[in-house]
Structure 1
Amino acid sequence: MGKFEEGNKKGKKFSSDNQPPNRGRKPKLYTIAKKAYNLSYSDFKDMRCYLMQLSRKELEDISKAVDTPIWIAILCRSYLKGASKGETQTLEETKMDLWGREVTSIKDKNSPVAEEPPRTLTKEEAKELWNSLNDEY
């Protein structure tokens, strides 16, 4: 089974000349959102930051709404799935996307330079961003 028999007239024999077409890589979620909604990367990051601050009920409402863009619904569902199973993979990916990978370098304890904490959106800023994105798209 699986071999091309000599008398077979259907199909073609698998060889170096007869290869299946390459589908390529799956596009990232941001790439889909960028092409479909003409979003900048900062808009994408701000939306992820906003969604992380919402309650479970608000995420469910957004993901079930008919007029919600698919990339936002996907993010909402992944946060809900992770919360129900106790997984942190989606949150870790969001954290790395928003603030970058943690730098592992040796720091001088006597250095006078203080690090700034990452900026988070206030509830008002998040609602304003959500409303502006809803109005635009």
Structure 2
Amino acid sequence: MAFEKGHKFGNRFTSENQPKNPGRKPSIYKYVKDITGKKIAPEMSKEDYHKVIRFLMESTPEILEGLVKNPDGTPNKKTPVWVLNVVSAINADIRYGRTYTVDSLFDRVFGKPTQQIESEVNAQVTNNSMDL
């Protein structure tokens, strides 16, 4: 059933009947500012992010443990949450003998490897040009 003029089903918006929350949704930065009262902006460049990921991938389990916990065993509250998440995923992979996290990080930092596909293609091309 297509929309027809004069259709009375549903809620049609007019100049008097507008949605309760018109416009775009606020950005995540505005949302966090409203909740915390702090203005935020991304501080890391893509290059910085890649450098941190490379550092984490090249680190020993002892160094990674130092990022997660202080020497007295209490949680390290100065390490960013995303770094804790990556370290936790790496530790879980080590524990279970997987490579999911490292594979994903390699793909993120170095790009996915390209695969060459060889094939033979036989094509017949005809040109039916028309004089306009």
Scaled by the length of structure 2, the TM-score of the pair is 0.51
- Structure scoring higher RCO (CA < 8 A, sep ≥ 6) equals 1
CA distance 1:84–1:99, change in 2 (3 Å): same
Cα distance in structure 2, aligned partners of 1:69 and 1:52:
16
What is the distance in 1 between the residues matched to 2:96 and 2:41?
31
Closer/same/farther in 2, CA of residues 73 and 37 from structure 1, 3 Å limit:
farther
Say if 1:63 and 1:74, in contact at 8 Å, map to a contact too.
no
RMSD: 2.4
Aligned ranges 1:67-86 → 2 under 5 Å? 67-86=78-97
Gaps of 5+ in 2: 1-9, 12-27, 29-39, 70-75, 119-132
Could you tell me how far apart the structure 1 residues matched to 2:108 and 2:59 are?
Answer: 18
1:102 corresponds to which of 86, 89, 113 = 113
Please list every run of at least 4 consecutive aligned residues from structure 1 whose deviation after the TM superposition is greater than 2 angstroms. Answer: none
Write the mapping of 1:7-46 to structure 2, written as runs, cut at 5 A. 37-46=42-51
* Whole-Å separation in 1 of the counterparts to 2:60 and 2:87: 11
1:37 CA displacement: 4.8
Q: Which amino acid aligns with 2:80?
A: P
Amino acid at match of 1:71: W
Structure (1 or 2) with the larger CA radius of gyration: 2
CA distance in 2, matches of 1:74, 1:47: 13
1:106: Cα distance to partner? 5.5
Quote the residue 1:20 is aligned against: none
Instruction: State, as a whole percentage, how many aligned pairs show the same letter.
Output: 21
| Contact 1:79–1:90, Cα closer than 8 Å, also in 2 | yes
What TM-score do the two structures reach when normalised by structure 1?
0.49
- 1 or 2, which has the higher helix percentage? 1
Equivalent residues in 2 for 1:117-132 (5 A)? none
- 1:103 aligned partner, one-letter code: T
Say how many residue pairs are matched: 76
Letter in 1 for 2:94: A
Cα distance, 1:94 vs structure 2: 0.5
Q: Name stretches of at least 5 consecutive residues in structure 1 with no aligned partner.
A: 1-15, 18-26, 28-34, 108-137
